[in-house]
Structure formats: structure tokens, C-alpha cells
Amino acid sequence: MGTRRAFDAAAADFAALGRYLWEPIGAATVAAAGLAEGDRVLDACCGTGASAIPAAHAVGAEGVVDAIDLSGPMIGELRRLSAGLPQLRAHEADATAWDTGGYDVVQSALGIFFFPDMTDGTERLIARARSGGRVVFTIWRGGSMVAAGRHLGRAVAAVTESGPPSEREPSLIDRIDQAGPYADWLSERNLSDVDVTVNELRLTMTPEIAWLVVVGSGFRGLLDGLEPDVVERVRERYLESLRADGVTELDATTLIGSGTVH
Ligand SMILES: C[S@@+](CC[C@H](N)C(=O)[O-])C[C@H]1O[C@@H](n2cnc3c(N)ncnc32)[C@H](O)[C@@H]1O
């Protein structure tokens, strides 16, 4: 399943997981952006607005937030959630092809590593900011979320009697998922004053939250094509697997990288 379809299917559960995961990360991303009233902001890969909505509050009625996501259901949910914020304009589009520019701030929370070419896509976003503007890109720190993916992969394999889940090919994100390498990579992107903040977050894995982590995120793609009764067996197996391994918390720490555009 592609990124778009996984997130399309996840939109409602994505919003439900939001208060535990996306919203605190989005708020920290916006805090790092240092927004002022009247600012023009591009929020790329906005999902249901975890960073776009607090940004819209920060820039006020005189400001603008163009929030962009590939997924129509995400954008639909965001339009519903931001009904009282006319300064937030939600667009269903590919953020890397967005051609309006001159933004005071370009931000993206947990989005840039989905671009087929992460470096090229990120440079395209940076080019949308005005000279002297700021960019803020939040990524997972290495190791975050992996325990959930590992237990889910095992549960799907066991229930569907398929082979063990294939390992993802190592890619750029695996080489820059610590603060130092991430700062170096950002510094190579025509940015100055680069700063990377480690934003610690741990989710308490109650059964409810543990399952929301699956159905309310891109992990949901692993359930694609499974019948509801099979999904229910996967859910039971996954929760049992977490219990057996004593997993009570999930590391969801992020790296918030920012810089000034030349
Ligand atoms: C993990 S979610 C994060 C959403 C939101 N920023 C948040 O923090 O809650 C990633 C989002 O990126 C979107 N996405 C991936 N590639 C994209 C692209 N090229 N253009 C726009 N959105 C994209 C997906 O549809 C998904 O909604």
C-alpha cells in the first residue's frame, strides 16, 4: 500500500491518536518555528493539522497558513477541525510540487522522510521560504516507534501464515536520525543557524493506545487487504506479543530541526 492510501484509510483514527502523539509533536514543532502574528506559513504534509492548527492560532487572523497534504481524507478532516480559522487554507496536493513562495516559515512535522527523494523534496520546501525566513522539519529519532512496527509485523505474519516481514531497505533517514547527523544534513541545505532539539516523548501502551498507534498511523498499511476478522486476530496477537515482551511504553521521541534560509 502506498503512503497516500495508508493515510487515507487512517484519517479518522489518525485524529484519535492525535492527542497522544501528533498534537504534542506538532505543538513542539510550532514552538520551534517562533511564529509571529501576521506570518505567512507553509505547513507541508499537514495531516489533520497537528502543527497547522496551532500555527494558525499563532499567526492570527492577519496571517496565513497554507496546509498541504496528499491525502484527501486528511484534508477533509482538517477542514472540519479548522472551520473557525479562515487563515488556515487546506490544500490536497503534493507538497514538493507546491509553487507559491515567499513564506516567512516553512514547517513540516513527520513528513519529509516520506518524499521519494528526501533531500530533493526538502530542498524544494526550503525554496518556498523567503530569504531570511525559517524552516522547521521534525523527524523521528532513531529507534522511535520501531517496537510497535516489529510486534505488528510479527502478528501479521503469524495470523496470515506469511513469511517474516521484510526489512525496509536502509535509506537516508536511517543515517541522519540522530541529532548530530541531522544537523549536519540540514546545514548542507543552504541553511544557517541550524539547531536540532531532542523532543522526548514516551507513549504509555495501554491496549487502546497500542492499537491506535497501528490504525492511526502509516503502520495501518500493513493491514491493507485483510478481512475484518483477520484484522481482529492481528490485533489480539499484537497486543499479546507486546504483553509477552513486557512492552509498556513506546519511544516516540522526535528531532526538531530548524534553520534560517539564505
Ligand atoms: C505521519 S503524517 C504527519 C502529519 C502531520 N504533519 C502531523 O504531524 O500530525 C505524514 C503525512 O504526510 C503526508 N504526505 C506524504 N507525502 C506527501 C507529499 N509529497 N505531499 C503532501 N503530503 C504528503 C501523508 O499523507 C500524511 O498525512
Determine the pLDDT at residue 7.
72
Q: What is the DSSP letter of 70?
A: S
Determine the pLDDT at residue 1.
43
Determine the pLDDT at residue 6.
66
Going from the Cα of 70 to the center of ligand 1, the distance in angstroms, rounded, reads 7
Angle of helix 146-160 relative to helix 207-215, nearest 10 degrees?
80
Cell matching residue 185:
544534513
Determine the pLDDT at residue 166.
75
Mutate to test the pocket of ligand 1, among 70, 79, 125, 212 (most ligand atoms within 8 A of CB): 70
C-alpha 2/C-alpha 46 separation (Å) is 17
Determine the pLDDT at residue 4.
67
What structural domains and CATH numbers belong to the chain? 3-142+169-204+252-261 (3.40.50.150)
Walk along the chain (262 residues) in steps of 10 and give the mean pLDDT of each run. Answer: 65 88 98 97 97 98 98 93 97 98 98 97 98 98 96 96 81 96 96 98 97 94 93 98 97 98 94
Determine the pLDDT at residue 189.
96
Which residue, judged by its Cα, is nearest atom 26 of ligand 1? 47
| C-alpha closest to that of 95 among 145, 52, 58 | 52
